[in-house]
Amino acid sequence: MRRFIFILIVCEFMSLACIAANKTIKGHVVDEFGKNVEFASVYVDSIYAVSDKEGNFSLVVPDGMKQELVISHISYQTSKIPYDVYSKKTSLQLTLKEKTCDLSDVTVVSGKKQEGILGKGARAPGDVAFHNVRSTKYETGPLFVVNKDYYVKTAKLRVQKCTFASCTIRLIIYEVKGTKFVPVQHRPLYVRLSEISDKKDLSVWIEEPLKLVRNHKYYIGVAVMASSGNGEIHFPAYFKKGCVRNLCTDRKKNLPVTLGVSLYGISAKHLQ
């Protein structure tokens, strides 16, 4: 059977081609308590970077690009810096304010048998792959609707292979409201991997209370947030409705094939 590879990112230089002159913006991202914020998305228009574990980032933008600098992370309020401010500084010290989490409807779910919420779908030929990226401005994953209220406790997915020396992938569950993708998590799920020559199944425990509501539409976004060395990471492809989403512009493209993510949890009616 002929195999197809669904390549999300071929090489980063494509978005930076033909830049004659540019400006480097460096900065440090912390929270209100001075703690470094890792994996904050920092971008100007389509030029994108991610803060490292020390909260540092470096962003190279073309001369003449004067859009505002945006710093975002689902655990914090988005910050926007006007061009007139950041263009006059060689280094930026950025503080993000934590988002408030409404705990009025929190239910503790433990000691209950989990059931399947979302299946992977039928196996498709080929893989979904990220190639030669240190961090990507794209995420991909399945779109789905649940038939009853659930509390999600576990996410599972398979990595077909990973040739990076190390790699960090991120999973976020969003509710889709029209054209908006609204995170239902307060904190992302991160999985750190080393080189994998053969398939490996990952199981991620979700600690915070995370409720999915009957007949609402959701999306699971999977992205590569950091990697070391040249390489690629492959996920098996499945026939299930999904999309690829640009994290800078919110633009998306629906696809009939995506990577396989399974969700498990507890029906809300079992907790009443």
At residue 261 the predicted structure's pLDDT band, cuts being 50, 70 and 90, is very high
| Distance between CA atoms of residues 116 and 264, nearest Å | 5
Residue 86 phi, psi dihedral angles, 5° rounding: -75, -25
pLDDT tens by residue, 59-96: 888 888 889 999 999 889 999 999 999 988 889 999 99
Residues 224-239: what's their mean pLDDT? Answer: 90
Question: What's residue 20's pLDDT?
Answer: 45
Whether 37 has a pLDDT exceeding 80, the answer reads yes
Query: Which H, E and C letters describe 216-253, residue by residue?
Result: CEEEEEEEEEEEECCCEEEEEEEEEEEEEEECCCCCEE
Lowest average pLDDT, out of 95-104, 137-146, 183-192, goes to 95-104
Whether 160 has a pLDDT exceeding 70, the answer reads yes
Whether 18 has a pLDDT exceeding 60, the answer reads no
Domain 115-271, what fold?
Jelly Rolls (2.60.120)
Question: What's residue 17's pLDDT?
Answer: 40
Domain(s) labelled CATH 2.60.120 in the chain stretch across: 115-271
Task: HSE, CB side, 13 Å, CA atoms: give it for residue 210.
Answer: 24
Strand partners of residue 116: 264
Stated pTM of the model:
0.79
Domain(s) labelled CATH 2.60.40.1120 in the chain stretch across: 9-96
CATH number for region 9-96: 2.60.40.1120
Lowest average pLDDT, out of 111-120, 121-130, 230-239, goes to 111-120
Whether 143 has a pLDDT exceeding 90, the answer reads yes
